[in-house]
Structure 1
């Protein structure tokens, strides 16, 4: 897997496919492998970049403070390193949406379209306290101490019908570096990126998971209402859409990102 040495992060990434450039941003606790099933559904129409965010997966561990803005700066540097334009489309999942909004709000970015899937943007006082407590817990006791409570909400029993897929996700979650994961929790806990939503002028697709216990459809719809040019939809998924509902997610992404003249053909291909 290629690795890009950025200013203060070493980022592992993968590029596949051909066509318009599309970046995928994974969830807190996830890796680029969260998109393993989704990517093949996109690569006939898009040149797809996915990567392990700083401190995640195979990217270098982080044992100091990080912010959502640091993640956005990583994305800007990574795009330049791999030859992607700053005008690429972005699809983000859960806490990855905070990075997407932070990047799209940068003065040097010109994102033409943005997909926010189960977006984790606003952090209530109760949720902030939970993230801080989880950060402290994982520092003391490691990933195994929080895996059941965390996946119990993001990957509940009702969505574990494919045992192999669930167990693979669980193993990746447990493989996280505990300190890096704790810092990622704190980055989300301290963000105020939701304040930037009214300034997003590009078309935005906002997807909710019908079975999402962390960001229920009503909450996600409220996020969509804060964005001037947003389209809201619900799919049959939980919080981890590319793992739990890749086909439905891909269908919405292909239709949303496609030029108008191609949308009818895409609709027909999904209903043959």
Structure 2
């Protein structure tokens, strides 16, 4: 793991070169894939997916500002800032040319915003359970959750939160779930609360018209936070999007890594 100073914030990241030999004629066979984790996650959120043998391309993953072991937030970030962080990190790491961005939940929002703001840097986007906007009716609830976690800590809400996003029926490996829960609890409560305040006002749909690259929208059939209808709606508003449903939940990269790896590779080999 390494750290970089990005826009005045310390960001932890990891870059690993590609492994294996791509199929002959595969477009952009050596093009890196950048993985952007969900809100409250970290670069370790991708451990299970990246252990799959199907993932052979170069990979950059990182803790977005305020998350994991990156510098913690002291104000509400914006999607534009998070997207610009990514482009600056690519420059600092020395990655030349366009990359594929793969994000989950709010990580998908970062990826789509980056594709809109920096089209020369993004060749394709994979949006898993994309959180691109929040209903007005949910705004006060999200602000209240942020306030509660800041006052009482994450342990006061962790089980209620994961009961929805990581239901027992989706736990195929108890140790994997325990690690996911532990990482979630290890978040800084104040920094995480600022992320919830960002989420309460989130709406990037105005940027959809500027996303020119191919996009794969992946939805989980058992995702109550972003049901398939919402993800399918996102795909319908993007000019070059395709849509697929998987038999999984909100954190599909953790809950169903084999399905996600296979679907991701099929998409990358066609764009």
CA distance in 2, matches of 1:108, 1:220: 22
Indicate the residue corresponding to 1:267 in structure 2: none
CA distance in 1, matches of 2:208, 2:262: 25
Match of 1:215 among 226, 229, 232: 226
* 1:98 correspondence with 2:109: yes
Indicate the residue corresponding to 1:6 in structure 2: 6
How far did 1:259 drift?
4.4
Q: Deviations over 1:200-240 (max 9, x none)?
A: 22111000001111001111111111111111001111100
How far did 1:63 drift?
1.6
- Runs of at least 5 residues in structure 2 that lack an aligned partner in the other structure: 19-29
* 1:176 correspondence with 2:192: no
How far did 1:73 drift?
1.5
How far did 1:44 drift?
5.3
Match of 1:201 among 207, 212, 219: 212
- Runs of at least 5 residues in structure 1 that lack an aligned partner in the other structure: 261-272
Distance 1:20 1:178, change over 3 A: same
Does structure 2 retain, via aligned residues, the 8 Å contact 1:20–1:45? no
* 1:80 correspondence with 2:91: yes
CA distance in 2, matches of 1:131, 1:109: 34
Does structure 2 retain, via aligned residues, the 8 Å contact 1:79–1:86? no
Indicate the residue corresponding to 1:16 in structure 2: 16
Distance 1:213 1:74, change over 3 A: same
Normalised by the size of structure 2, how large is the TM-score?
Answer: 0.91
CA distance in 1, matches of 2:47, 2:216: 21
Distance 1:75 1:238, change over 3 A: same
Normalised by the size of structure 1, how large is the TM-score?
Answer: 0.91
Indicate the residue corresponding to 1:126 in structure 2: 137
Aligned length: 260
CA distance in 2, matches of 1:134, 1:96: 20
How far did 1:37 drift?
1.3
Indicate the residue corresponding to 2:25 in structure 1: none
RMSD: 1.5
Indicate the residue corresponding to 2:173 in structure 1: 162
3-state SS of 1:181 partner:
helix
Does structure 2 retain, via aligned residues, the 8 Å contact 1:17–1:44? no
Q: Deviations over 1:102-124 (max 9, x none)?
A: 11111464411111000011110
CA distance in 2, matches of 1:43, 1:52: 23
* 1:33 correspondence with 2:47: no
Distance 1:92 1:42, change over 3 A: farther
CA distance in 2, matches of 1:195, 1:96: 17
How far did 1:84 drift?
1.6
